[in-house]
Amino acid sequence: MRKLAVLSIVPVAACIALAVPASGASSYRVKMGDNFFKPKTVTVRKNTTVRWKWKTKAPHDVVGRGPAHFTSGSPKNHGNFSVKLRRKGTYRIVCVVHPKMKMTIRVR
């Protein structure tokens, strides 16, 4: 009876171990719309790639300030931008075309 119990646990443990990426890499998506980031605040692990995507009526961009600075470039109506956050700390994100359009990313 003990052998059956042990044998049934081993495959489950192996599946769980395979589900975790070996590099610890991960990604997070942020939605953008006309005048909003969703979510407004997020906490991620160090080395997470954050991706923004938008298809809007008004032009937008992504500018980040914190332990590292980054920008998506010139504002545009359709865009994709991603950045790998390698440094721990708090990042303040804004769309320079719409200064009230803000979000915060905390990297642990």
- Rounded to whole angstroms, the Cα distance separating 44 from 86 reads 11
Whether 18 is covered by a domain: the verdict is no
SS3 state of residue 106: strand
Rounded to 10 degrees, the C-alpha dihedral 57/33/72/80 comes to -90
Whether 1 is covered by a domain: the verdict is no
The domain spanning residue 31 has which CATH number? 2.60.40.420
Whether 4 is covered by a domain: the verdict is no
User: Is the CB of residue 35 less than 8 Å from the CB of residue 100?
Assistant: yes
Residue 51's domain comprises 24-107
Q: What is the pLDDT along the chain (108 residues), one digit of tens a residue?
A: 555 444 444 443 333 333 333 345 599 999 999 999 999 999 999 999 999 999 999 999 999 999 999 999 999 999 999 999 999 999 999 999 999 999 999 999
Q: Number of folded domains in the chain?
A: 1
Whether 80 is covered by a domain: the verdict is yes
Whether 16 is covered by a domain: the verdict is no
Q: What single-letter amino acid sits at 50? A: V
